[in-house]
Copies of this chain bind each other. A is one copy, B any other.
């Protein structure tokens, strides 16, 4: 499946209809790929390197650590996502990028990016769209942590992840499998793993969703959407293709 419809093409395809030339450009990136083991840092906070990556396979998380030792997970990245795009232009990386599972990526240099921009402008537009979408997700994440209570933001986060996974063929309306521990989820949602545990229990007991054994099951999708005030608009993947 990945040779014909890699997740990246699926995702970008939700925004621009890709031509054969553009698809083959993507394919070229696909060819020079590397893999990393779980737990490995692709990029470290404060590091000078300037690499970006395209994620083909596996799960990744990006996070920042505070002096106090606590960490905030910015985002979980799934196949089809870019990694480190934002900070290619920075002197030093402001965040960590860590493989959660065994992953497959291709390295993209600053020059590759600039080259893509001048050679295949439509693809460049699609990349910018993807970057904008990433930022929109961070913004919605900010809204969640700032203004939704724990059950609401848990519901919202798991719904969003579901929508993203569905777009690249890794989930359905029923649910999806994901390798997150309660602890990681807590670090993403700005709470304690203990509280996370209680919130998940509450959501389960109230018939909203079940998070167990690396599986998320939406027991009451509509109820969840209402509870979380979930509106997919910011993902910009609802309508048909543009352009």
A: residues with CB less than 8 A from B are 15, 46, 64, 66-68, 70-72, 74, 86-92, 94-95, 114, 117-118, 121, 124-125, 128-129, 131-132, 134-136, 138-143, 145-148, 189-190, 229, 233-234, 236, 238-239, 242
Find chain B residues with CB under 8 A from A125 CB.
89, 114
Residues of B within 8 A of A129 (CB): 89-90
User: Considering the complex of A and B, which 4 residue pairs feature the smallest CB-CB distances, nearest first?
Assistant: A146-B190, A94-B234, A72-B143, A72-B146
**Option from B71, B121, B136, B146 in Cβ contact (under 8 Å) with A87:** B136
- Interchain CB contact under 8 A, B190 and A147: yes
This chain: copies in complex = 2
Interface centre among A124, A132, A140 (most CB of B within 10 A): A132
Give chain B residues whose Cβ lies under 8 Å from the Cβ of A90.
Answer: 129, 132, 136, 236
Q: Out of B68, B136, B146, B189, which one reaches A86, CB within 8 Å? A: B136
Give the most central of A74, A128, A242: most B CB within 10 Å.
A128
Cβ contact within 8 Å between A135 and B138: yes
Residue of B nearest to A242 (CB): B91
What chain B residues lie within 8 Å of A128 (beta carbons)? 89
Q: Which residues of chain B are near A121, meaning CB under 8 Å?
A: 114, 118
- How long is the Cα–Cα vector from A121 to B121 in the complex, in angstroms? 13
Other 15 A-B pairs with CB < 8 A, given A87-B132, A114-B121, A118-B121: A15-B89, A64-B139, A88-B132, A89-B132, A90-B132, A90-B136, A91-B239, A94-B136, A94-B139, A94-B236, A114-B125, A131-B131, A138-B139, A145-B190, A146-B190
